[in-house]
Amino acid sequence: PAGTPRRRRRRKSVAIAYEPGQGDGAEPRGARWEPPHWREQLQRIREMRRSRDAPVDEMGVQKCYDSSAPPQVMRYQVLLSLMLSSQTKDQVTSAAMLRLRRRGLTVDTVLQMDDETLGQIIYPVGFWRNKVKYIKQTTAILKQKYGGDIPSTVEELVQLPGVGPKMAHLAMDIAWDSVSGIAVDTHVHRISNRLQWVKKETRYPEETRVALEEWLPRDLWREINWLLVGFGQQTCLPVNPRCSQCLNQDICPAAKRL
């Protein structure tokens, strides 16, 4: 092919990883694609997140359940907080969970609650009317099919009404202490694209998850959600990111464009 000599001439350049045909099993063994500066970028993000003072740290799902509750109740509360957290700020989710827990938050108490009461308690979480419906449907399924517990596989979790892949992977991690995949929310999706941690731009979080899992070492999968969510809440904001305060400004492909 016409491009071969050129490609051979610049074989030392990382750009070769982006050439057509690469990544489709066409790479030589041991030449798996990875982003050029990712280790350095990750280390600097860890440094920026060292104080653990983002909303996700203080009010994230891992802080929303009653850690003194029986394991089954605790797992149910984790799942419920994940369902509430979709398209909702951590502060709002945390407050809604506190109100629910004051009522004694279990499968049975939620099943006994009428829709109007549940709606009043969880308001103003995003899409609260839909969430009332999903919570009631999912809770009924948990009671009938899982003896009041939550399923322990991603495949079963995503079958529940109102539960998506990100929630399922986080539920596996927080409720079952099992790393099943990378939980990709809007922050992880945005930052992975800005840092070019994906080989080509991805449009949806689920695409980003698949792309990240292809190269990111598995022992980092659990950490990456927590790390990037907080970084996205404080520094790499959706609009007007604080590039001037970011330790990665010299090695971030998006820093100059934004």
Examine residue 124 and say whether the peptide bond preceding it is cis (omega within 30 degrees of 0): yes
For residue 152, the domain's CATH number is: 1.10.340.30
* Residue 189 and residue 170 share a domain: no
User: Could you tell me which of 227, 226, 258 has the C-alpha nearest to residue 241?
Assistant: 258
User: Could you tell me which of 105, 58, 56, 102 has the C-alpha nearest to residue 78?
Assistant: 105
Residue 202, domain member (yes or no): yes
Domain interval for residue 199: 38-51+182-257
* Residue 92 and residue 135 share a domain: yes
Task: Identify the active-site residue in 131, 166, 199, 200.
Answer: 166
Question: Which pairs with CB-CB distance under 8 Å and at least 24 residues apart come from 157-164?
Answer: 157/79, 160/79, 161/133, 161/134, 161/137, 162/83, 162/86, 162/130, 162/131, 162/133, 162/134, 162/135, 162/137, 162/138, 163/79, 163/82, 163/83, 163/134, 163/138, 164/86
What's residue 31's pLDDT?
A: 73
* Residue 72 and residue 126 share a domain: yes
Residues in the chain with pLDDT values less than 50: 2-27
Residue 3, domain member (yes or no): no
Q: Is 131 a catalytic residue?
A: no
At 5, list the tokens.
Answer: 């000599």
